[in-house]
Amino acid sequence: MERRELEQQILHVVHQVLHREVEPQTRLLDSGQLVDSLNIVKLVCEIEERFCVSFDDDLELDYLDDVKSLVEAVWSKLNE
Amino acid sequence: MIKCIVWDLDQTLWRGTLGEDEQVLLPEENRALLEHLDASGILQSIASRNDPDAAMEQLRKLGIDHYFLYPQLGFHSKALSIQTIAQKLNIGLDTIAFLDDNEFELREIGYFLPQVARYHAWSDRNSLMEAVGQGGTGTAESRNRRVFMQAQEKRDQEELKFSGTREEFLKDCDMRLTIREAREDDLARVCELVERSSQYKTFSQTVDPDFCRRYRASTQSKLWVAELEDRFGQYGIIGVCFLRSGDGNVWIDQFCISCRVGGRGIGVVFLQTVLDQCQGMGNPCFKAVCCFTPTKRNRPVVILLRTLGFRKSQSQDGQGGLEVALPVAHVACDWITIIVDKG
């Protein structure tokens, strides 16, 4: 899969789970900003299932900074 | 730990088949079991292939409809029904027990949902009783668990109908969170909540009342609880936090909230409030360190901690830990009224 295609697919998943318009720069999880934690959990589970990757051992959650970081993390895992 | 029993109806909850037999009968031992499980804080639901209206009408006639949460009545797969119940109750499949008279149904669940414990309606009754234990913890939260869940169900239904934003709905709920130090009569509930929590729990170790008493007695530590009520009812103690201070640090030895109240900002507000209170515990604290055990189910609490700015701790070897500089960044949750009860 091309990276651009992966980005489009992830944008689609994020839109479906969070029910809002998103672009690569959309912030997902910020210090000091409350998010619906259940929706973010759903999003991670959906991404893991859809792309057969696992974020189980990642406590930093940098991949949830914004959509671009999420794409980067999934891309890295797919190419490990 | 079994948190919910899912009943089949025909030849399991009642004797007879609805729509085929002239009447169905509720055996006295089943009525007694329904009452016993309810008083013990074990939730109950239904997965049955029956006409939904006729089945609900029969449950009402027998005076037992109020025992069941999110009953799944219809002609779809029971595996799907059980998955729906787990999702609605926000509990793991491994905390569900399924009771049916039909070997095929039991095997089917075993195939598709191997995590679910399965019991034959009549021949496995003793094993079921052993698995659920002889009684609950005796806490008010345990005795009223089903009522709390019904308030939650009503809240969920109103949220679906609500036309505004999620934040507007949360404001409309009029949530009041009382945060205070635990008292002696809270300790059974504190231990129960630590044992039952899975998604919003930082440290896997359970606690007993003696440990809680020692923790409370120490001048270096405080045991905090959070009680929630909203316009749908009271939820009792839904959060526990064990905080210890020393060497300029605050150690979060355990933090958990009930899965029932996840996704509303309650955990974030509770933790930031008790961390603020710590600054008044005597010595100034510059950093909060959270003892952390990653599990397959506690990702929500990692996300909660990250919302408050926690990052992976550099100081802990081998054992996972997360830390943040104090004071923590304040997260706006103006839909929750916080009451700090200083006794």
Q: Taking an 8 Å Cβ-Cβ cutoff, which residues of chain A contact chain B? A: 29-41, 44, 56-57, 59-61, 64
Residue type, B133: G
- Quick one: pLDDT at residue B125? 87
CA contacts within 13 A on the Cβ side of B270: 35
CB proximity list for B270: less than 8 A, separation 6 or greater:
B177, B179, B224, B226, B239, B241, B257
Place of tokens 């094993």: B127
Residues B74 and B208 in one domain: no
> B47: closest CA among B70, B30, B65, B63?
B70
Asked, for residue B238, whether it belongs to a domain, the answer is yes
CA distance B43 to B5: 6
Instruction: Name the least confident of A19-23, B33-37, B157-161, B194-198.
Output: A19-23
Minimal CA separation from A5 to chain B, in Å:
28
Chain A touched by B322 (CB under 8 Å)? yes
Comparing B281 with B60, the larger pLDDT belongs to B60
CA distance B138 to B6: 22
DSSP state of B149: H
Domains and CATH numbers, chain A: 3-78 (1.10.1200.10)
Q: Tell me: pLDDT of B257 over 90.
A: yes
- Quick one: pLDDT at residue A33? 53
Asked, for residue B11, whether it belongs to a domain, the answer is yes
Provide the Cα torsion B306, B309, B315, B321; round to 10°: -20
The answer to whether B91 and B44 have CB atoms below 8 angstroms apart is no
Interface of B with A in 152-171 (CB under 8 A): 166
- Angle formed by the axes of helices B299-307 and B266-278, nearest 10°: 60
Q: Tell me: pLDDT of B134 over 60.
A: no
Chain B residue numbers with beta carbons less than 8 Å from the beta carbon of A37 are 262-263, 267, 300, 303-304, 307
Q: pLDDT confidence of A35, banded at 50, 70, 90?
A: low
Residues B328 and B287 in one domain: yes
Using the beta-carbon criterion (under 8 Å), do A31 and B262 form an inter-chain contact?
A: no
- Of B85, B112, B132, the position where a domain reaches its end is B132
- Quick one: pLDDT at residue A27? 82
Mean pLDDT over the full length of chain A: 83
Residues B77 and B170 in one domain: no
CA distance B106 to B116: 10
Residues B115 and B211 in one domain: no
Q: Tell me: pLDDT of B318 over 70.
A: no
Chain A touched by B332 (CB under 8 Å)? yes
Using the beta-carbon criterion (under 8 Å), do B303 and A40 form an inter-chain contact?
A: yes
Q: Tell me: pLDDT of B317 over 60.
A: no
Mean pLDDT for B74-87 is: 93
Asked, for residue B276, whether it belongs to a domain, the answer is yes
- Angle formed by the axes of helices A3-18 and A37-51, nearest 10°: 140
Mean pLDDT for B219-247 is: 93
The answer to whether B201 and B255 have CB atoms below 8 angstroms apart is yes
> B292: closest CA among B266, B323, B261, B271?
B323
Minimal CA separation from A52 to chain B, in Å:
16
Residue-wise pLDDT for B53-62, tens only, equals: 999 999 999 9
CA distance B98 to B132: 12
CB pairs under 8 A between A and B: 59
Using the beta-carbon criterion (under 8 Å), do B308 and A39 form an inter-chain contact?
A: no
CA distance B175 to B114: 38
CA distance B225 to B105: 43
Q: Tell me: pLDDT of B12 over 80.
A: yes
Asked, for residue B158, whether it belongs to a domain, the answer is no
CB proximity list for B96: less than 8 A, separation 6 or greater:
B2, B3, B4, B5, B6, B82, B85, B86, B115, B116, B117
The answer to whether B297 and B204 have CB atoms below 8 angstroms apart is no
- Quick one: pLDDT at residue B254? 96
**ipTM of the assembly?**
0.75
Minimal CA separation from A29 to chain B, in Å:
7
Asked, for residue B154, whether it belongs to a domain, the answer is no
Mean pLDDT for A22-31 is: 79
Minimal CA separation from B23 to chain A, in Å:
44
Q: What sections of A1-80 are H helices per DSSP?
A: 3-18, 37-51, 67-78
Q: Tell me: pLDDT of B23 over 50.
A: yes
Q: pLDDT confidence of A32, banded at 50, 70, 90?
A: very low
- Quick one: pLDDT at residue B323? 92
The answer to whether B304 and A37 have CB atoms below 8 angstroms apart is yes
Residue of chain A with shortest Cα separation from B304? A37
Residues B96 and B174 in one domain: no
Using the beta-carbon criterion (under 8 Å), do A29 and B303 form an inter-chain contact?
A: yes
Beta strand residue intervals within chain B, DSSP E: 4-7, 43-49, 72-74, 96-100, 117-120, 175-181, 221-230, 233-246, 249-257, 287-291, 311-312, 321-325, 336-341
Task: Indicate the number of domains in chain B.
Answer: 2
Chain A residue numbers with beta carbons less than 8 Å from the beta carbon of B320 are 59
Whole-model pTM above 0.90? no
Rg, C-alpha atoms of chain A: 12
Asked, for residue B140, whether it belongs to a domain, the answer is no
Give the residue numbers spanning the domain of B210: 165-341
Residue-wise pLDDT for B201-229, tens only, equals: 998 888 999 999 999 999 989 999 999 99
Out of B296, B303, B329, name the one closest to residue A41 (CB): B303
- Quick one: pLDDT at residue B270? 96
Using the beta-carbon criterion (under 8 Å), do B304 and A36 form an inter-chain contact?
A: no
- Quick one: pLDDT at residue B75? 86
> B98: closest CA among B112, B84, B78?
B78
- Quick one: pLDDT at residue B278? 82
Asked, for residue B330, whether it belongs to a domain, the answer is yes
Q: Tell me: pLDDT of B186 over 90.
A: yes
Give the CATH number, domain containing residue B233: 3.40.630.30
Residues B188 and B64 in one domain: no
Give the CATH number, domain containing residue B72: 3.40.50.1000
Q: What percent of chain B has pLDDT over 90?
A: 59
Residues B127 and B234 in one domain: no
Probe site for chain A from B275, B299, B326, B335 (most A CB atoms < 10 A):
B299
DSSP B4-39: EEEE-TBTTTBBS-TTTSS--B--HHHHHHHHHHHH
Residues B109 and B15 in one domain: yes
Asked, for residue B45, whether it belongs to a domain, the answer is yes
Chain A residue numbers with beta carbons less than 8 Å from the beta carbon of B267 are 37
| Phi, psi values for residue B30, rounded to 5° | -75, -40
Residues B329 and B185 in one domain: yes
Residue B27: asked if its preceding bond is cis (omega within 30°), the reply is: no
- Quick one: pLDDT at residue B247? 83
Q: Tell me: pLDDT of B314 over 80.
A: no
Residues B197 and B318 in one domain: yes
Residues B309 and B171 in one domain: yes
Residues B39 and B187 in one domain: no
The tokens of B332 are what? 């706006």
Mean pLDDT over the full length of chain B: 90
